[in-house]
Amino acid sequence: MTAQMQHEVEEYLEKHKVIELLNNLTAELIYSQPEDPKLHLVKQLQSLKASQTGEKPVPPCLFQGNHLRSLFGMLDSSGSGHISREQYREAMKTLGVSKFDEFPPGGEMDHIVIDTFVKAAKAGLEQAWETYAS
């Protein structure tokens, strides 16, 4: 593939947010591990399409508060009630959230509590999925 072709491919993927969509769908699929992953993905894409056509008021947010709290619990394996800034950053990336506060409250001391994590994750996920509504 020539450099020009590669550049065009990258522009296309970026313009249509294909990588973000696939990352979000993959992260949700891994988390939920449905019996029929293909059917599950079809349903997720149908839900997304319904939000685009106005049948649903908002795009689907694949991770709800209980999922995010469970994820926090896995990260906080010692039960200390907080996670490090690095754990927070990696969790956001795993969730497919690319734009988030790199220095959340408590981050400077590696002491990010569950409410801070859940709030930031929800905001980032909603923002990520809203990009697919257009």
Containing domain of residue 123, as a range? 1-134
Residue 26 pLDDT: 83
Residue 24 pLDDT: 75
Q: What is the mean pLDDT of each run of 10 residues along the chain (134 residues)?
A: 92 86 80 90 85 64 75 92 94 83 92 94 78 54
Residue 97 pLDDT: 82
Q: Are the C-beta atoms of 106 and 112 separated by less than 8 Å?
A: yes
- In the DSSP assignment, the letter for residue 55 is S
Instruction: Give the Å distances, CA to CA, from 7 to 14, 19, 22, 26, 45.
Output: 10, 15, 20, 25, 27
**Structural domains of the chain, count:** 1
Residue 49 pLDDT: 80
Residue 118 pLDDT: 92
